[in-house]
Amino acid sequence: MSRLIMLFRRRDGASAVEFAIIAPIFIAGVLTMIGYSIYLSASASVQQMTEEAARAAVAGLSAQERQMLAENAVALSMKDRAFIDPKKVKVTISGQDTDRYTIQVSYDAAQLPIWSLFAYAMPDNKFISRTSVMRIGGA
């Protein structure tokens, strides 16, 4: 009986047991932070591409020229973006008949690696879309 009591009083394996309990939670937290950083990086890239497209489209004199300038600005901007597949980016300009027009850049982020690894913690929407409204003639 004394051996059984001595076995329960030993502390030399306590660190291993504590590590086995805490490590999975810590690793899941770190991987979730990595997943969200990838998602936020892609989201920030889409936002920046939208802003660049809006700034470029201001110089256009017609609807077709604004569309071309916005698409060219996004194409140039995509070269420097991590996690952005150029084939999945769509640029749309609408509302050009009024005094304002809307530029929308959307990205299908379904191919990012985070959806298969961190699906429990990621947003449900796999499309990232950003919009910018500009006055015709600028300012």
pLDDT bin (cut points 50, 70, 90) of residue 7 is: low
Give residue-wise pLDDT tens across range 119-135: 667 777 888 999 998 88
CA distance 49 to 38: 17
pTM more than 0.85 = no
Give the model's pLDDT for residue 119: 66
Tokens of 89: 């980016």
Q: What percent of the chain has pLDDT over 90?
A: 19
Distant-in-sequence, close-in-space partners of 101: CB < 8 Å, separation ≥ 6: 57, 63, 66, 93, 94, 95, 133, 134, 136
